[in-house]
Amino acid sequence: MKRVAVIGGGPGGAQAAEVLARGGLEVMLFDEKLAWEKPCGGGVTFKAYQQYPFLSKNEVTKKHIQETTISTGATGVRLDLGRPILIYSRQELNRMLLRRAENAGAQLEQARVTGMERKDSGWRIATRQGSLEADYCVIATGARNPFRTLGTEFRPGDAMYALGYYVEGCQPHIDIQFFQGFQGYVWVFPRCGHLSVGIGGKGEPAQQMRARLERYMDRHGYPLKGAKFYAHMLPSLETSSWRKNRIAGDGWMAVGDAAGMVDPVTGEGIYYAMRSGDLAAQTILNDSVPLQEKAACYRGCIDQDFGRDLYIGTLLSRRIYLGNFLMGSIPARMVQFVRRSPRFRELMQDLFAGTQGYETLKQRLLASVRPTIAEVAWSFFSRRLLAPARS
């Protein structure tokens, strides 16, 4: 194998291109825009910059967010984040990742791929400027993948929608608001130069979600006048779709959103894009794996690394947003437990950092639920017992 074509220049494609180029292969990365802004993204978790330290150790402008507020309407709680979330402009993040790929030896082509044809043991890649041949392809086109036979086959229910507004302003923390009966949440992200006030979820028409968001903005004083609207589709695979997820085939592998690799609970995708791009590149470079077995090997690597965790996330998503516990919604109980239980606050901090996976979440909750309820009960009654008597 000599030449690999990477179709798409987001975090997954850029990471794959860098690793492949450092491994000595000729790499051609195609993207119509190369670096672009994605208004609803840009959050990098501790899990991501722990795995890839260059995400935190660089000169690119970013915000270090060390606290968030979580609310369910009238009640809310402030949560300190011991391991900050880094928030980038997606344009600047993409530009940095593409620069790393180029420095490693990848050739960047600002061109739209208009066709891909399987030819003998390779591919013919067509652009408006011409065509070239490659031995292997990495599909990193995002959720709106134009190549229907390559990457995830999205079915009804396999996507969530993120929409919102750029709003002038700044604040030092993230706000998250849950709603009764809605599988999603509203966020206020302090980005570089503005706030992103948005909503993400599924099971509700986009127009209804937008109205829900605008009511929230009105209540909290975020002006709509002059605010720039955005909308974006994100993968959010159902359990049955994840089981059948098509992430690789004869001569190709898909990474990131094109492979449906987004956290089905939170919508976080940067880590999974970069990690899948990394694993795809490592599999392609592994000479001990025959060419005809690379697709199966990649599927196994994904499953072992994080695929099992995302699969369990598909089972939990609806329960977390729409389920009930102790005669209240799970989000409402979550806010209550964070406020009054140090043990539960620690668990939530680990979830925000990305170090608490879904596969072991049940065991940790079962081990802590009784102590947590005891802590909540003691917090409640001690406040009453120690409160000064009213005259």
Q: What pLDDT does 37 receive?
A: 72
Residue whose structure tokens are 């085939």: 249
Domains recognised in the chain with CATH numbers: 3-36+90-153+238-314 (3.50.50.60), 159-235 (3.30.9.10), 323-386 (no CATH)
Amino acid at 374: A
C-alpha span between 146 and 199 (Å, rounded): 26
| pLDDT, tens only, 343-355 | 889 999 999 999 9
Is the model's pLDDT at 384 over the cut of 70?
no
| pLDDT, tens only, 7-65 | 999 999 999 999 999 999 999 999 998 877 776 667 899 999 999 999 999 999 999 99
Task: Transcribe 242-291 into DSSP letters.
Answer: HHT---EETTEEE-GGGGT-S-TTT---HHHHHHHHHHHHHHHH-TTS-G
Poorest-confidence range of 123-137, 198-212, 330-344?
330-344
Full-model pTM: 0.92
Poorest-confidence range of 24-28, 88-92, 93-97, 279-283?
88-92
C-alpha span between 360 and 245 (Å, rounded): 23
| pLDDT, tens only, 298-308 | 999 999 999 99
Q: What pLDDT does 189 receive?
A: 92
Is the model's pLDDT at 324 over the cut of 90?
no
Is the model's pLDDT at 390 over the cut of 50?
no
Q: What pLDDT does 370 receive?
A: 65
C-alpha span between 250 and 118 (Å, rounded): 9
C-alpha span between 176 and 69 (Å, rounded): 6
C-alpha span between 232 and 36 (Å, rounded): 14
Overall residue count recorded for the chain in this entry? 391
Residue 259 Cα to chain centre, angstroms = 12
